[in-house]
Amino acid sequence: MTVFSSSEMASDVFGRLFDVLLEDEQFVEKARREALSVQLVHSKPDCRIFVSSEGVVHGEPPFKAAITLKMTCDTAHALWMGRLLVPAAIATGKVRIRGRIAKVLELVPMLQPAFDSYPAIAAESGVGV
Amino acid sequence: MTVDVPADLSPELNFDTLPPEVRQLKEDARRFAQETVKPLVQQLDQAPAEDFDWDVMRRGHEIGLTRAAVPTDYGGLGLGMLGVATALEEVAAVCPGTALVFGATMLGQAPLLLSGDPRLQARYLPLFSGDEPVLACNAVTEEDAGCDLIIPANAPHARNVMTARRDGDQYVLTGRKRFITNARFAAFASVFANMEGSPGATGLTSFIVPLNLPGVVRGPVADKMGYRACLGSELEFHEVRVPAENMIGGEGEGMPINMAQSNMARAAVAGISTGVARGALEQAVAWAGERVQGGELLRRHQFTAAKLADMTAKVDAARLLYLHAANTVDTQLPPPAYEPAVAKLFADRAAVDVADAALSLVGARGYLRSYGVEKMLRDAYGTRIYEGTPEVLALTITESLYAEDDAE
ipTM (interface pTM):
0.83
* Cα separation, A56 vs A52, whole angstroms: 7
pLDDT interval class at B396 (50, 70, 90): very high
pLDDT computed for residue B14 by the predictor: 57
Give the one of B78, B80, B249 whose C-beta lies nearest to A85's C-beta: B249
Q: Are residues B32 and B163 in the same domain?
A: no
pLDDT computed for residue A14 by the predictor: 93
> Which residues make Cβ contacts (< 8 Å) with residue B92, sequence separation at least 6?
B99, B100, B271, B272, B273, B274, B275, B276, B278, B279
Q: Are residues B285 and B228 in the same domain?
A: no
Quote the domain boundaries for residue B377. 255-402
B121 contacts in A (CB within 8 Å)? 109
| A125: closest CA of chain B, how far (Å) | 26
Q: What is the pLDDT of residues B43-80, one digit of tens each?
A: 999 999 999 999 999 999 999 999 999 999 899 999 99
* Cα separation, B134 vs B188, whole angstroms: 9
Give the one of B71, B253, B408 whose C-beta lies nearest to A105's C-beta: B71
Which residues between 335 and 394 in chain B have a beta carbon less than 8 angstroms from any beta carbon of chain A? none
Q: Are residues B117 and B162 in the same domain?
A: no
Cα nearest neighbour of B122 on chain A: A109
Q: What is the pLDDT of residues B126-173, one digit of tens each?
A: 999 999 999 999 999 999 999 899 888 999 999 999 999 999 999 999
Residues β-bridged to residue A38: A51, A67
* Cα separation, B19 vs B12, whole angstroms: 7
Q: Are residues B245 and B271 in the same domain?
A: no
**Contacts across the A-B interface (CB distance below 8 Å):** 102
User: How, if at all, do strands B163-167 and B216-221 pair?
Assistant: unpaired
Cα nearest neighbour of B114 on chain A: A87
pLDDT interval class at B7 (50, 70, 90): very low
Q: What is the pLDDT of residues B347-377, one digit of tens each?
A: 999 999 999 999 999 999 999 999 999 999 9
Question: Which residue, B199, B220, B252, sits at the end of a domain?
Answer: B252
- Looking at this protein, which amino acid is placed at residue B114? L
> Which residues make Cβ contacts (< 8 Å) with residue B81, sequence separation at least 6?
B69, B264, B267, B268, B325, B326, B329, B330
CATH number, position B144: 2.40.110.10
Instruction: Evaluate whether residue B408 is within a structural domain.
Output: no
Q: Are residues B245 and B260 in the same domain?
A: no
CATH number, position B66: 1.10.540.10
pLDDT above 60 for B8: no
Instruction: Evaluate whether residue B2 is within a structural domain.
Output: no
- Determine whether the interchain pair A97/B408 forms a contact, defined as Cβ–Cβ distance below 8 Å: no
Residues B280-296, mean pLDDT to the nearest whole number: 97
Closest CA to B298 of B282, B310, B287: B287
Instruction: Evaluate whether residue B20 is within a structural domain.
Output: yes
- Determine whether the interchain pair B259/A99 forms a contact, defined as Cβ–Cβ distance below 8 Å: no
* Cα separation, B393 vs B266, whole angstroms: 10
A95 contacts in B (CB within 8 Å)? 333
* Cα separation, B321 vs B3, whole angstroms: 13
Q: Are residues B223 and B339 in the same domain?
A: no
CATH number, position B285: 1.20.140.10
Instruction: Tell me the domains of chain A and their CATH numbers.
Output: 7-115 (3.30.1050.10)
Q: CA distances (Å), B358 to each of B263, B279, B310, B351, in order?
A: 30, 10, 11, 10
Domain count, chain B: 3
Q: Are residues B355 and B274 in the same domain?
A: yes
pLDDT computed for residue B408 by the predictor: 44
pLDDT computed for residue B407 by the predictor: 39
B331 contacts in A (CB within 8 Å)? 98-101
- Chain A contact probe: residue of B70, B333, B339, B405 with most A CBs at under 10 A: B333
Give the one of B69, B79, B116 whose C-beta lies nearest to A87's C-beta: B116
pLDDT interval class at A107 (50, 70, 90): confident
Helix (H) or strand (E) holding B176: strand B170-181
Question: Which residue, B252, B285, B310, sits at the end of a domain?
Answer: B252
pLDDT above 70 for B12: no
Q: Are residues B329 and B351 in the same domain?
A: yes
Q: What percent of chain B lies above the pLDDT cut of 70? A: 95
Looking at B142, B234, B374, B387, which residue is catalytic? B387
B387 catalytic per annotation: yes
* Cα separation, B353 vs B47, whole angstroms: 26
Instruction: Evaluate whether residue B1 is within a structural domain.
Output: no
Cα nearest neighbour of B205 on chain A: A88
pLDDT computed for residue A90 by the predictor: 87
- Chain B contact probe: residue of A90, A112, A115 with most B CBs at under 10 A: A90
Instruction: Evaluate whether residue B63 is within a structural domain.
Output: yes
Give the one of B78, B259, B332 whose C-beta lies nearest to A91's C-beta: B259
B8 contacts in A (CB within 8 Å)? 64
Instruction: Evaluate whether residue B407 is within a structural domain.
Output: no
Q: Are residues B129 and B179 in the same domain?
A: no
Q: Are residues B181 and B43 in the same domain?
A: no
* Cα separation, B399 vs B1, whole angstroms: 12
A66 contacts in B (CB within 8 Å)? 9
| B218: closest CA of chain A, how far (Å) | 28
| A126: closest CA of chain B, how far (Å) | 26
Closest CA to B320 of B340, B350, B343: B343
Q: What is the pLDDT of residues B318-343, one digit of tens each?
A: 999 999 999 999 999 999 999 999 99
| A21: closest CA of chain B, how far (Å) | 16
Instruction: Evaluate whether residue B311 is within a structural domain.
Output: yes
Q: Are residues B129 and B154 in the same domain?
A: no
Q: CA distances (Å), A105 to each of A28, A110, B73, B333, in order?
A: 16, 10, 10, 10
* Cα separation, B110 vs B121, whole angstroms: 11
A105 contacts in B (CB within 8 Å)? 71, 78, 113, 116
User: Which residues of A fall below an 8 Å CB-CB distance to B?
Assistant: 43, 64, 66, 70-72, 85-88, 90-93, 95-102, 104-106, 108-109, 111-112
Q: Are residues B94 and B73 in the same domain?
A: yes
Closest CA to B237 of B173, B315, B178, B190: B173
Q: What is the pLDDT of residues B222-274, one digit of tens each?
A: 999 999 999 999 999 999 999 999 999 999 999 999 999 999 999 999 999 99
Instruction: Evaluate whether residue B373 is within a structural domain.
Output: yes
Q: Is B97 helix (H, G, I), strand (E, B) or coil?
A: helix
pLDDT interval class at A34 (50, 70, 90): confident
- Determine whether the interchain pair B5/A98 forms a contact, defined as Cβ–Cβ distance below 8 Å: yes
* Cα separation, A33 vs A71, whole angstroms: 27
Question: Which residue, B207, B231, B252, sits at the end of a domain?
Answer: B252
Which residues between 228 and 267 in chain B have a beta carbon less than 8 angstroms from any beta carbon of chain A? 248-250, 253, 256-257, 259-260
Q: Is B71 helix (H, G, I), strand (E, B) or coil?
A: coil
The mean of the pLDDT values for chain B is 93
pLDDT above 50 for B11: no
